[in-house]
Homo-oligomer: A and B are copies of this chain.
Amino acid sequence: MTSPVRVGVIGAGRIGQVHAEHLSYRIPEAEVLAVADVNKAAAVACAERLGIATASDDPRDIMGNPAIEAVIICSSTDTHARFVEEAAAAGKHIFCEKPIDHDLAKIDRALAAVERAGVKLQVGFNRRFDPNFAQVQQMVAGGQIGVPHLLRITSRDPEPPPAEYVKVSGGMFLDMTIHDFDMARYLMGSEVVEIFAAGAVLVDPAIGEAGDIDTAVVTLRFANGAIGTIDNSRKAVYGYDQRVEVFGSGGGIVVGNNAPHTAVYSNSDGVHAAKPLYFFMQRYTDSFINEMKQFIEAVQQDTPTPVTGIDGRIPVVMGMAAWKSYKENRPVKLSEIG
């Protein structure tokens, strides 16, 4: 039996805690040695709750710990690229939450550092590990729909993020749609070459005042000739709406939402079922566990990670193309971005 992969977690916010808990309790092949957060109290609380030996307010305590083989970067987005570089320099394998950065130059420098160091990098596009979407990907890749012609993604949040978050988020295309951009590449097995984005502020004027949009329909042109469309809203009152559909020469596959239970209630008003699971923490629990399992497995067995650095870079390019398209009201080729 191989010994567990020893990891350090940087960032003890919501997603950092989720990963730390999964690594501690759900993945026997991993062991969390340390957690660091600029807010030391958060690090300490997380460490206590999960029985992690070391809590710190300095990520260097993790970078410099020779016992730690891999780091899980869950700090604020503006620190991702720097920590990737530092971890690579320290010879540690890296799991980095999405996005690596909103600046392509910084991303490229980080990816180069990873390349040079010969460490592994996995980017946190967790939805690939969701049983629904993974099933669709397998069926498409397995030829069950023949040649893919059309892709439809519906991705709507139950409520918009706070205004202060909107300002630093990179805007909807880089914060929210970025997951759908990754999903599009993942499901279709083909790269997007051109994007047309129609956006609007329909949910909350404050989002518009912050320079962002809250509603969008994005058209994707794939290298293989297929066409895709994504629709986004920051507010679906019925909960988190996460559906996907791929259509091709041999058939189609549709995935619907997941609900907390299957009870269907009929009364004199109609037939009623449960709303979808509320938001990503409930909806993507399994995918968060699975992505971490596969990262640990890639480290332990020295195999490629399932979401690479370039998989982390391309959706950022797509987000930039979407913004450019929205602002200039014209289709934008990804080759215009870089």
Interface residues of A, Cβ cutoff 8 Å to B: 25-26, 28, 49, 131-132, 134-136, 139, 144-145, 147, 149-150, 152, 154, 156, 196, 198-200, 202-203, 215-217, 219, 221, 225-229, 231, 233, 235-238, 241, 245, 247, 249-275, 329-331
Knowing A196-B198, A233-B247, say if A262 contacts B272 (CB, 8 Å).
no
A150 interface neighbour in B215, B227, B268, B330, Cβ under 8 Å: B215
**Contact indicator B202/A225 (Cβ below 8 Å):** yes
Knowing A262-B258, A266-B275, say if A152 contacts B152 (CB, 8 Å).
yes
Q: Which residues of B contact A228 (CB under 8 A)?
A: 217
Tell me which of A139, A200, A217, A257 has the highest count of chain B C-beta atoms within 10 A of its own C-beta.
Answer: A217
Q: Which residues of B contact A329 (CB under 8 A)?
A: 331
Tell me which of A25, A202, A235, A260 has the highest count of chain B C-beta atoms within 10 A of its own C-beta.
Answer: A202
A252 interface neighbour in B219, B236, B253, B330, Cβ under 8 Å: B236
Q: A145-B265, A235-B249, A236-B247 are in contact. List 8 more A-B contacts (CB 8 A).
A: A152-B231, A200-B225, A200-B226, A217-B228, A229-B229, A251-B265, A253-B264, A272-B272
Tell me which of A152, A236, A258, A275 has the highest count of chain B C-beta atoms within 10 A of its own C-beta.
Answer: A236
User: How far is the CB of A235 from the nearest CB of chain B, in Å?
Assistant: 7
In the complex, A334 Cα to B219 Cα: how many Å?
19
User: How far is the CB of A156 from the nearest CB of chain B, in Å?
Assistant: 7
**Contact indicator A262/B270 (Cβ below 8 Å):** no
Q: Which residues of B contact A196 (CB under 8 A)?
A: 196, 198, 219, 331
In the complex, A203 Cα to B58 Cα: how many Å?
58
Knowing A150-B231, A219-B217, say if A256 contacts B251 (CB, 8 Å).
no
Residue ID in chain B nearest A237 by CB atoms: B268
In the complex, A331 Cα to B245 Cα: how many Å?
25
**Contact indicator A215/B227 (Cβ below 8 Å):** yes
**Contact indicator B247/A254 (Cβ below 8 Å):** no
**Contact indicator A271/B268 (Cβ below 8 Å):** no
**Contact indicator B256/A264 (Cβ below 8 Å):** yes
**Contact indicator A251/B264 (Cβ below 8 Å):** no
Knowing A238-B267, A275-B270, say if A262 contacts B132 (CB, 8 Å).
yes
Sampled A-B contacts (16; CB under 8 Å): A132-B261, A145-B265, A149-B233, A196-B196, A198-B227, A202-B226, A217-B227, A217-B228, A219-B219, A231-B247, A233-B247, A238-B266, A251-B265, A251-B268, A252-B265, A270-B275
